[in-house]
Amino acid sequence: MLEQIARRVPFLRRSGLVLGPGDDCAIFRPRSSRSDWLITTDLVLEGVHFRPQTHPARAVGHRVLARGLSDIAAMGGTPRFCFLSLALAPWTGRRWLEGFLRGLAALANRFGVILAGGDLARSPQVVCDIIVCGEVPRGEALRRDSARPGDQICISGQLGGSACGLRTGRGRAWKRHLYPEPRVALGRYLREKLGATAAMDLSDGLSLDLHRMALASGLSAALQSEPPLYPGATLEEALHGGEDYELLFTIPAGTALPAAHRGVRLTRIGVMKEGRPGAVRLGRAALKPGGYDHFRGPAC
Amino acid sequence: MLEQIARRVPFLRRSGLVLGPGDDCAIFRPRSSRSDWLITTDLVLEGVHFRPQTHPARAVGHRVLARGLSDIAAMGGTPRFCFLSLALAPWTGRRWLEGFLRGLAALANRFGVILAGGDLARSPQVVCDIIVCGEVPRGEALRRDSARPGDQICISGQLGGSACGLRTGRGRAWKRHLYPEPRVALGRYLREKLGATAAMDLSDGLSLDLHRMALASGLSAALQSEPPLYPGATLEEALHGGEDYELLFTIPAGTALPAAHRGVRLTRIGVMKEGRPGAVRLGRAALKPGGYDHFRGPAC
């Protein structure tokens, strides 16, 4: 569908736009600026991304902003300000709005992010769209299309926690689902210290997101080990479950990967290779992209 | 409600943010840049801003972008790129999407605006959020809070066309409703040539928007004549009807207002005065803000 849009609307690189659609963020370079600016937009919809019966208002507010912050993190940037478009449904009251804002504000304050504007409306169902703008030194944003053959494929954290939480509806995994943690400090570390060659966030599941990174980089990906499982998660959930918001990244073959960064585990799971662009193998078997895709429906 | 949000989330001026919420756009000033950047976000929701039964897909695509372009126009800026968050409902098919994109792309191409990214999802009802970024020379954006006592209050075009079109559902007024024209060239002319002291776009109706401009500027507004009526529109529609997307602006007392700019009529309708901030009078009577407010419901 993006291709269909692309045919109609010009996607040219001008007006200071360095990178258009297809990555976690667009990159905008103001004239004579030492910084590039990252811009990302994410929808959160009632009935699609959350259900009023199960998701507390505070968690909805948190997740709205966390999605945008995670996109900035994935490019090694520092989030600066955001815009919130919010349509409230008839069932929401003052208490719901208070909770929503409490969740959003707590995360915004923690990362020093300013609410710069937005739009408000009423609608049959709750609709949120968050726009987050972040800063990165000129030309240094981590992209998903720049992995090289031989690069090590790595991930942060343990996978499948969010999908497991959504299945069980309780315990630590449920909290993990409700309050994902954007890996902002890790993203900067990957860019500044580890010399990562490519990065993206795991929003739609490892199998689908790794497929996308490999495709964008014109490479194939060989997973040599299964990803670390979140306690209680199945391998299926770790491979295909969405909304973990961990980082997927590549580092040069010779670079040593530390075991962790600020308490977040880092794991090497495979290697990028020349081959059919976008193909992903786990051991000897092909791993089909099975993560969440809005236009195919949920995988778990 | 904005105040409630403001209490929770920091609205500080830092990170290069010159102007936060409350105007048509936020203003962002990259370090050492000669330009300020305008950012605006607007929701368009099925059942709220359009109805599938009456509004053709092409008009929906046009109006989504027109809303954002009008905000850039109101600040005297030049639109550069945009982001589209779009959730498609089950009832939409390939043809609807084609029409929507045709409407959006035609307007984007006409103004040289690039689609820089976005987000796609499925939802029970169509949801669009458009983010438009525009450029203006540093420190020169037209704001709504800078009108001065004695300034002449002026508007572009004829008012009430959109509300009249929505009521009658046919003829020129209906087309006016479906395909509003963002006054981008006029906005630049107001800033560059006419020395406008304040400006905003008429999205929610003259009575409400003039109240907002007066309130933001700490002044009262005295209308000395009724605004020019769109053919077929009632005075009620011209005073309180929303979505005309004409410009409301103020110019110094001594400045002569041309009769038109590029075929768009310009009319002086009143004067800004010291007085109760936000109070609007039409002749001797108080004019209550009666325009469209999502949290009070439509006025027409």
Would you state the pLDDT for residue B295? Answer: 44
Between CA B203 and CA A60, with CA A121 as vertex, the angle to 5 degrees is: 150
Question: Is-contact B44 B50, C-beta < 8 A?
Answer: yes
Identify which of B39, B87, B125 has the shortest CB distance to residue A124: B125
pLDDT in the model for residue A121: 87
To probe the interface with A, which of B41, B107, B144 has the most A CB atoms within 10 Å? B41
Contact criterion met (CB below 8 Å) for A48 and B122: yes
What integer pLDDT is reported at residue B4 of this predicted model? 59
Dist CA A35 CA B37 (whole Å): 14
Classify burial at B22, counting beta carbons within 10 Å of its beta carbon; exposed 0-12, middle 13-18, buried 19 or more: middle
Q: At what angle do helices B171-178 and B161-168 cross, to 10 degrees?
A: 110
**What is the pLDDT at residue A141?**
96
In chain B, residues with a C-beta closer than 8 Å to the C-beta of A84 are 5
Residue (of A105, A205, A276, A37) closest to B5 by Cα position: A105
Q: Where are the alpha helices (DSSP H) in chain A?
A: 2-8, 57-74, 94-110, 161-168, 171-178, 184-192, 206-217, 235-240
CA A245 – CA A49 distance, rounded (Å)? 14
Closest CA in chain A for residue B48: A123
Nearest to A38 by CA among A85, A72, A4: A72
Distance (Å, whole) CA A254 – CA A197: 12
pLDDT (tens digit, 9 = 90+) per residue, A86-100?
999 999 998 999 899
- Measuring CA to CA, which residue among A71, A192, A185 is closest to residue A134? A71
Q: How many residues does chain B have?
A: 300
User: Mean of the pLDDT values across residues A24-53?
Assistant: 87
Across the interface, do B43 and A2 touch by the CB < 8 Å criterion? Answer: no
Between the CA of residue A88 and those of A11, A46, A62, what are the distances in Å? 33, 10, 16
Q: What is the pLDDT of residue A73?
A: 98
The answer to whether residue A6 scores a pLDDT higher than 90 is no
Count Cα atoms within 13 angstroms, Cβ side, for A238: 18
Residue B285, classified by CB atoms within 10 Å of its CB into exposed (0-12), middle (13-18) or buried (19+), is: exposed
The confidence band for A13, taking pLDDT boundaries of 50, 70 and 90, is very low
pLDDT in tens, A157-197: 999 999 999 999 999 999 999 999 999 999 999 999 999 99
* CB contact at 8 A, A298 and A243: no
Alpha carbon of A214: minimum distance to chain B alpha carbons (Å): 20
Q: Which domains does chain B have, with CATH numbers?
A: 2-137 (3.30.1330.10), 152-286 (3.90.650.10)
Chain B environment of A21 (Cβ under 8 Å) = 115-118
**Phi then psi for A229, rounded to 5 degrees?**
-90, 140
**Confidence (pLDDT) at B292:** 54
User: Which chain A positions have a beta carbon within 8 Å of B95's beta carbon?
Assistant: none
Percent of chain A with pLDDT strictly greater than 90: 75
pLDDT digits (tens, 9 = 90+) for B38-93: 999 999 999 889 999 999 999 999 999 999 999 999 999 999 989 999 999 999 99
Q: What percent of chain B has pLDDT over 70?
A: 90
Per-residue pLDDT for B252 more than 50?
A: yes
Q: Is the pLDDT of residue A281 over 90?
A: yes
CB A183 within 8 A of CB A67: no
Is the confidence at residue B9, as pLDDT, over 80? no
A49 contact residues in B (CB cutoff 8 A): 121
Q: In this model, does residue B300 exceed pLDDT 50?
A: no
Longest dimension (CA), chain A: 57
pTM: 0.85
> What does the block give as tokens for B173?
């007024």
- Give percent of chain A above pLDDT 70: 90
Handedness of CA A155, A70, A39, A12 (dihedral sign): positive
User: What does the buried/exposed string (b/e) look like for A146-165 if buried means 16 or more CB atoms within 10 Å of the residue's CB?
Assistant: bbeeebbbbbbbbbbbbbbb
Q: Could you tell me where the DSSP H helices lie in chain B?
A: 2-8, 57-74, 94-110, 161-168, 171-178, 184-192, 206-217, 235-240
* Nearest CB partner across the interface for B125, out of A17, A41, A125: A125
Q: How far apart are CA A135 and CA A191, in angstroms?
A: 13
pLDDT tens-digit readout, A235-257: 999 999 999 999 999 999 999 99
- Whether residue B116 and residue A2 make contact (CB cut-off 8 A), yes or no, is no
pLDDT confidence of residue B269: 98
d(CA A236, CA A256): 29
Residue B32 binned pLDDT confidence (cut-offs 50, 70, 90): confident
In whole angstroms, give the CA distance from residue B27 to residue B72: 11
Predicted local confidence at residue A195, as pLDDT: 97
Q: Which residues of A fall within a CB distance of 8 Å from B132?
A: none
